[in-house]
Chains A and B, each alone.
Chain A
């Protein structure tokens, strides 16, 4: 195996595009190194992107935030601006592994590892986040939900990698939240999860919403019917019940040791209701 740590994006693209054999991008390494230890991944080339200065920072941009691919979760959790604008995204990223893992793991890595149970992904999709992809061709921005094509698979082409995530400007009276169910209290992988982002008008009526399910399908599920259940309401009991029903109906989980299909379909509705109420309270500045 060859290890390279280029200092520019261009250099990284050149290495990845020109690689003979299997090439992998190394950011936090909390998935890649585990896969290498177990023999699941045997790359011929590892390109460490942490030496690229522009990828290590969180920048304000057009009222939103651009988070570099080498920014660990712990740094996001210490960033007052991102925490204030997108608390749901920050708390989702903050649930990935232990303190030690937080010091290394990145949301771009969490996305590109393409686990159906990735915690930060439903929150990013709910936020309407965009991934900036670089490669041999022109840079392009794509919605985060378009990056993953299936479990362990991304839509990235040869020589391409995600350079940053853009979290857009927050409208007034908006809030987001992420909740997951795990069989333990910490250090576990989601059996079901929900990210909700919404905006209220002056009277507290929901004018826009995005509801996204994780760990209950091969990819995250953006549930339009669930968003519709909230829009035009003040999140009264009837709206929340409709929301939960829409989420349970949209979920396509599997049976495994962490939960049955029946349980996951039910619990995803419960989580959606609770996350929606947290997002509403945040939108109201509570």
Chain B
């Protein structure tokens, strides 16, 4: 089976890759491009660990084919910090100890960033519903929700 040639943009940079027709974008990111910040949890769209944005829309990369990314714009966790300067959300996750094992964290950060772009002043309920598709088995969610609300406050001041 011949591989499919894909040209796409990831975190603002042009990328080209070859992939199999049935290969998920998650597998392409991790195994072909070495962008291993995006994690695989369930592989069925339930856990949100593989969250990325595709043309600005929050999606699970395990439920996107690598071939679908042709001409699209992708953002992953690797594009979140500006060099050594962490994004406000990343700082707040550290401050609030909103992570333990860290596997869900990139997905939470991408999802939370997408929330704050759509809604800079979310209520706690809105944060919880928006992040309902991101599962964390360590923190019990409270610290994550607090970190996101705190980041929202700080980002509104900026």
Question: A101: which B residues are within 8 A, CB to CB?
Answer: 45, 60, 63, 133
Distance in angstroms from B57 CB to nearest chain A CB is: 4
Which residues of A lie under 8 Å from residue B67 when comparing CB positions? 3, 5, 48
Contact with B along A183-220 (1 / 0, CB 8 A): 00011000000000000000000000000000000000
Contact A97 to B65, CB < 8 A, known contacts A34-B45, A46-B21: no
At the interface, yes or no: B70 with Cβ under 8 Å from chain A?
Answer: yes
Measured in the bound complex, the distance between the Cα atoms of B4 and A103 in whole Å is 24
Asked whether, in the complex, the Cβ of A37 is within 8 Å of the Cβ of B111, the reply is no
Residue from A101, A103, A186 with most neighbouring chain B CB atoms (10 Å): A103
Tell me the bound Cα distance from A28 to B21 in angstroms: 16
What is the predominant secondary structure among interface residues of chain B facing chain A?
A: mixed
Using C-beta atoms within 8 Å of the partner chain, give the interface range for chain A: 20 to 34
B124 at the interface (CB under 8 A from A): no
> Binary interface profile of B, 98-133, with partner A (CB < 8 Å = 1, else 0)?
000000000000010011000000000000011111
Contacting residue for B70 out of A1, A2, A5, A36, CB 8 A: A5
Q: Would you list 28 pairs from A and B whose C-beta atoms are within 8 A, ordered by A residue?
A: A1-B20, A1-B22, A3-B22, A3-B67, A5-B68, A29-B64, A29-B65, A30-B45, A33-B65, A34-B45, A34-B63, A36-B22, A37-B43, A46-B22, A99-B58, A99-B129, A99-B130, A99-B131, A99-B133, A100-B51, A100-B58, A100-B59, A100-B63, A100-B111, A103-B54, A103-B57, A186-B129, A187-B132
Known: A3-B65, A29-B65, A48-B68. A103 touches B58 (CB 8 A): yes
Is the CB of B24 closer than 8 A to any CB of chain A? yes
Q: Which residue of B20, B44, B59, B115 is within 8 Å of A34 (Cβ)?
A: B44
List B contacts of A46 (CB < 8 A).
21-22, 65
- Using a CB–CB cutoff of 8 Å, the interface residues on chain B facing chain A are 1, 4, 20-22, 24, 43-46, 48, 51, 54, 57-60, 62-65, 67-68, 70, 111, 114-115, 129-134
A207: min CB distance to chain B, Å: 36
Contacting residues, chain B, for A1 (C-beta < 8 A): 1, 20-22
Question: Closest Cβ of chain A: how far from B136's Cβ, in Å?
Answer: 14
List the B side residues contacting A34 at CB < 8 Å.
Answer: 44-45, 63
What residues on A are CB-neighbors of B20 within 8 Å? 1
- Given A3-B22, A104-B60, output 4 extra A-B contacts at Cβ < 8 Å: A2-B21, A26-B65, A38-B44, A97-B133
Q: What are the interface flags for A13-55 relative to B under an 8 Å C-beta threshold, 1 for contact and 0 otherwise? A: 0000000000000101110011011100000001010100000
**From A44, which residue of chain B is reached at the shortest CB distance?**
B21
The main secondary structure of chain A at its interface with chain B is mixed
In the bound assembly, the distance between CA atoms of A104 and B68 in angstroms comes to 12
Pairwise interchain contact B64-A104, C-beta atoms closer than 8 A: yes
Residues of B within 8 A of A26 (CB): 65, 68
**Contact (Cβ within 8 A) A100 B22:** no
Contacting B at CB under 8 A, from A114-156, are none
Instruction: For residue A98, give the distance in angstroms from its CB to the closest CB of chain B.
Output: 2
Q: Please indicate the chain B residues that have their CB under 8 angstroms from the CB of A30 in the complex.
A: 45, 63
A100 touches B65 (CB 8 A): no
From residue A102, how far is it (CB to closest CB) to chain B in Å?
8
Q: A32: nearest residue on chain B (CB-CB)?
A: B63
- Which residue of A is nearest B50, CB measured? A100
| List of B residues within 8 angstroms of A103 by Cβ | 54, 57-59
Q: Which residues of chain A come closer than 8 Å to B43, judged between CB atoms?
A: 37
* B129 CB, nearest partner CB in chain A, Å: 6
Q: Report the minimal beta-carbon distance from B92 to chain A, rounded to whole angstroms.
A: 20
Given contacts A29-B63, A72-B57, A186-B129, contact A3 B44 (CB under 8 A): no
* Docked complex Cα distance between A72 and B63 (Å): 14
Tell me which of A3, A34, A98, A187 has the highest count of chain B C-beta atoms within 10 A of its own C-beta: A98
Complex Cα gap A186–B129 (Å): 8
| A231 CB within 8 Å of chain B | no
Q: Does A9 contact B (CB under 8 A)?
A: no
B63 touches A3 (CB 8 A): no
Known contacts A37-B44, A100-B111: A186-B132 contact under CB 8 Å: yes
